[in-house]
Chain A
Amino acid sequence: MLREITLGQYYPANSVLHSLDPRVKLFGTLVYIITLFSFDNVPLFAMILIALIGVIKLSKVPFSFMVKGLRSIIMLLVIAGLFNMFLTPGITLVELGPLKITDVGLINAIKMTSRMVMLIIGTSVMTLTTTPNQLTAGLEKSLGFLSKFGAAINVDFHVHDIAMIMSIALRFIPVLIEETDKIMKAQMARGADFETGGLVKKATNMVPLLVPLFVSAFRRATDLAYAMEARCYNGGEGRTKMRPLTYTSLDQRAYICLFMYIILFYAVKAVL
C-alpha cells in the first residue's frame, strides 16, 4: 500500500530518456509545464498531448506506473472539476435543480482537470527516468549561476546546501517508507488496528506508529550527520564530483527537439 507512492521514485530501464543528462530533462519539464499552462485552443492542446505520449513511449516505463501518482489526488481532481463546472457563470447548458452547468464552466473543468493530470504524468516521467542523485546534481548545476550571481551582490543562495538537503530528503523517502511498513507490521502483530474506527480513533491509533517513526528518523539523522562529519564533509566549497555532468550528442539533439517544440508551439499560438 505504502509502496505505491511513485512520486520521486526511479524506475530502472534502458531508454533514451534514462540516458539523457538531467539538465536536459529539467529544462524539458520546465518547457512542458509552461506550455501546458499557456495553451488556449484545441490544436495546441493536441500538440502537447502528442509530445507527452511520444515521451512516455520513449521512456519505456509502463504507463500504469505514471497513473499511480494520480490515485492519491483523484478526489481533489473530481472536487475541483465539479466546482469549476457548476460555479462558473456563463450560458447555461444543463440545469439540475439549483445547479447549472455552463459552457464556460464545462470548458474550464475539462481544461483544469486535463492540465492537472498531464502535469502529474509529465513530472512523473522525469522522476521515473532520473535517479534522485542525478536530479539534484542537475539542479545544482543548473542553479549554479545563482551562486555566482550571489557572490557578486554579496548574498549567499546556499545552492549546494539546498541541493544536498534535497538529495538526502529524496534518498530517505524509501527508507522511511520501509521503516513505516516495518513498524506498522510490528504493532499490528501486537493487535494494533490502523484501519477501522472514526477519525479521532484513527488518529490516536497512529501514536504507536508515529512515535517510533520519529525516534528512528532522528536517530538516522544523527547517524548521518556523524558519518558526514567523519568524512570531512564541510559544504560545497572546493568539492568535486566523481561523475561530473557532461553533455553528449544525444543531449544536443534533445535540446534541438525542445527548441523546435517551443518555436512550433508559439508559432501556432500566434497564428491561431
Chain B
Amino acid sequence: MNDNILIMDHVSYKYSPDTAYEVKALDDVSLTIKKGEFIGIIGHTGSGKSTLVQHLNGLMRATEGHIYFNGQDIYDKDYDIRSLRTQVGMVFQYPEHQLFETTVFKDVQFGPKNQGLDEKEQIKRAYEALTLVKLPDEFYLASPFELSGGQKRRAAIAGVIAMKPSVLILDEPTAGLDPRGRDEILGLISDMHEKRGDTVILVSHSMEDVANYVDRIIVMDNGRPAYDGAPKDVFSHYKELEKMGLAAPQVTYVMNDLKAQGFDVDTSATTVEEAKEEILKMLGR
C-alpha cells in the first residue's frame, strides 16, 4: 500500500463548465502510480494528457473526484499545496518560455529559493541540477535568452529538478527538438530515473520515445485511460491504437508483417534492439 505515491480516484475535469464552451477533458479517471515507476502517457492531440498531469501537482483542481499524494488527500483544506508542487515537479510543454532571470544560474535557483532553502543550499542545488542536465558551464552566467532552443530546454528542466521533486512529470519534453537533441534529453531523463530512483511520468506523442524508455504506458483517449500496461502489452493492441489516431512503434509493424509472412517470430518486441535479437534468434544465429 505504501508504495503508491499518487492515486487518482474517479477524477473528472470540465473546462468552462455550464457554458457553450464546455469541454469534458477528463472523464472519470482512476489511476495508481507506484514509487519509482517510469510511466509514459500517450494519446492523440486533445485527449487530455496535459490536463491529466496538471492535476497531479495540484495546478488544476478536479471538478469531481480525489487525488492522494503519499496517502494524503491533496484537496484537504489544510493540505499544503505549494509544498506538493515542489515534491511533484512539472516540466511544461515548451518549458523554455518560463525562463526570466538575468542569468541561467539564477533562473535555476528560483525553485529552491521558493522552497525557502538558504543561499548556500540553493547554489548547491542549482549547480547539481545544471550538471545533471549536462549544460556546459560556460553558459551558467549567460542570459537564458542567449541560449539555443535545446540549451534553453535543458536549463528549464534543470530549474525543475533543482527542487529535488520525488515525482518528475515532463509534458512533451522533446517537442520541437532535432533527433539528437531528443535522444539526449530522453537519455538524460532515463539516467536520472536510474540514478535517483525518482518516479518519472513522461507525456509524449512519439511511440518510439516511449517504447525505448518507460516500463508502463497509459494510453489516453477522449479523457479516459484506454490502455494501461507494459509497452509490449499495450502495443499488441496496435490495431485499436490506430483507430484512436495513434500508431505502435515501427518495429511492431515489422515483426507483425514478418509473422504474417510465415516467419516464426515473437511480435512483442517494441524496440529496435529487441527486434534485432528476436530476428537473429529466428535465423538461428
Chain A residues with CB below 8 A from B97, complex form: 182-183, 186, 212, 215-216
Interface flag for A190 (CB, 8 Å): yes
- Which of A3, A183, A185, A189 contacts B89 (CB under 8 A)? A189
Chain B residue, CB-CB nearest to A210: B100
Chain A residues positioned under 8 Å from B19 (CB to CB): 62, 65
Residues on A with beta carbons closer than 8 Å to the beta carbon of B95: 186
Is A190 a contact partner of B111 (Cβ separation < 8 A)? yes
Q: Pick the residue among A65, A185, A208 that contacts B110 (CB under 8 A).
A: A208
Which of B86, B92, B98 is within 8 Å of A191, CB to CB? Answer: B86
Among residues of A, the one whose C-beta sits closest to the C-beta of B116 is A191
Chain B stretch 133-156: residues in CB contact (< 8 A) with chain A: 145
Given the known A-B contacts A11-B20, A185-B54, A212-B100, are A192 and B114 also in contact in the complex, defined by CB atoms under 8 Å? yes
A87 within 8 A of B: no
Chain B residue at minimal CB-CB distance from A187? B98
* Interface size of A as a range: 20 to 34
Contact between B20 and A12 (Cβ–Cβ < 8 Å)?
A: yes
Quick one: given A3-B16, A62-B19, are A189 and B100 in contact (CB under 8 Å)? no
Find chain B residues with CB under 8 A from A193 CB.
82, 114
Query: What residues of chain A lie closer than 8 Å to B100, measured between beta carbons?
Result: 207-208, 211-212
B84 CB → nearest A CB, Å = 10
B232 at the interface (CB under 8 A from A): no
Q: How far is the CA of A203 from the CA of B32 in the complex (A)?
A: 40
CB distance from A238 to the nearest CB of B (A): 38
B66 located at the interface, meaning its Cβ lies under 8 Å from any Cβ of chain A in the complex:
no
By a CB distance below 8 angstroms, the chain B residues around A192 are: 110, 114
Q: Is the CB of A186 within 8 A of B86?
A: no
- CA separation between A263 and B207, bound complex, in Å? 69
Taking a contact as CB atoms under 8 Å apart, the answer to whether B145 and A215 are in contact is yes
A256 / chain B contacts, CB cutoff of 8 Å: none
- CB contact under 8 A between A186 and B92, given known A191-B163, A212-B99: yes
Q: How far is the CA of A43 from the CA of B198 in the complex (A)?
A: 72
CB proximity to B under 8 Å, residues A187-206: 187-193
Q: Are A185 and B86 also in contact (CB < 8 A) when A207-B100, A208-B110 are? A: no
Contact partners of A221 in chain B: CB under 8 A: none
Does A13 count as interface, using CB distance less than 8 angstroms?
yes
- Expressed in whole angstroms, the minimum distance between the Cβ of A1 and any Cβ of chain B is 12
With a CB–CB cut-off of 8 A, which chain B residues contact A211? 100
Contact of A189 among B16, B145, B160 (CB under 8 A): B160
Interface contact A189-B82, CB-CB below 8 Å: no
> Which residues in chain A, 209-252, are within 8 Å of chain B measured between CB atoms?
211-212, 215-216
Q: Which of A11, A183, A189 contacts B57 (CB 8 A)?
A: A189
| With contact pairs A11-B20, A207-B100, A212-B97 given, residues A188 and B59 touching in the complex (Cβ less than 8 Å) | yes
The digit string for B93-121, where 1 denotes a CB below 8 A from any CB of A, is: 00101111000000000110111000000
Q: Are B82 and A191 in contact (CB under 8 A)?
A: yes
Contacts of B90 in A (CB 8 A): 186, 189
Interface contact A212-B98, CB-CB below 8 Å: yes
In the assembly, what is the distance between CA of A189 and CA of B90, in Å? 6
Q: Across the interface, which residues of B come within 8 angstroms of A212, CB to CB?
A: 97-100
15 A-B residue pairs with Cβ-Cβ distance under 8 Å, sorted by A, are A11-B20, A182-B97, A185-B59, A189-B85, A190-B110, A190-B111, A191-B110, A191-B111, A192-B110, A192-B114, A207-B100, A212-B97, A212-B99, A215-B97, A215-B145
Q: A190-B159, A191-B114 are in contact. List 14 more A-B contacts (CB 8 A).
A: A12-B20, A62-B19, A183-B97, A185-B54, A185-B92, A186-B95, A186-B98, A189-B92, A189-B160, A190-B86, A191-B86, A191-B111, A208-B110, A212-B98
- Going nearest first, the 3 A-B pairs with the smallest beta carbon separation are A191-B114, A211-B100, A186-B98
